Amino acid sequence: MTKTLAAAAAAFLFVAPVLAQSPASLPDRPIARSEVIGVVKKQFAAMDANHDGIVTRAEFEAYHAAQAPGAGGPFGHVGGHWFDHADAKGDGRVTLAEAEAHPLQLFDMADTNHDGVVDQQERKLATMMMSLTGK
């Protein structure tokens, strides 16, 4: 169980593009699963320049290059490896379902009581477990 919690903590705090923030920059309040979905949808829409429901590598790179540091608040920044993580099929195209899959999987791991909210206690546990893994 400790390995699972450690993996969830590391994933929750460092891997997911929606949640890839330092613990200090995350909001000091509960984070709902619906909030993660909303952020992913908003970012996906912003990346999908031609609004065809697909984000190509070129669209992602243009979006990533135009991001202002710190823009969008604690969940606003999309990391440089987002496309590689999101393109689950490896076909050079990311659908909204693919974009949502990884962040929601990681969120669900951090949501230890499975109530759809990562509360401060779960966040503290994730932070503690992350520090134990040395990540």
Q: Which position has the higher pLDDT, 80 or 64?
A: 64
Q: What is the DSSP letter of 115?
A: S
pLDDT-derived band at 131, boundaries 50, 70, 90: confident
Quote the pLDDT of residue 71.
57
**Type of residue found at 35:** E
Pairing of strands 54-56, 117-118: unpaired
Residue 47 buriedness (CB in 10 A; 0-12 / 13-18 / 19+)? buried
Check if the beta carbon of residue 126 is closer than 8 Å to that of residue 135: no
pLDDT-derived band at 21, boundaries 50, 70, 90: very low
For the chain, the domain total comes to 1
Q: Which of 36-40, 52-56, 106-110, 125-129 has the lowest mean pLDDT?
A: 125-129
Q: Which position has the higher pLDDT, 53 or 74?
A: 53
Range of the domain at 114: 2-133
Instruction: Tell me if the pTM is above 0.85.
Output: no
The CA-based diameter of the chain, rounded to the nearest angstrom, is: 44
pLDDT digits (tens, 9 = 90+) for 94-106: 999 999 998 898 7
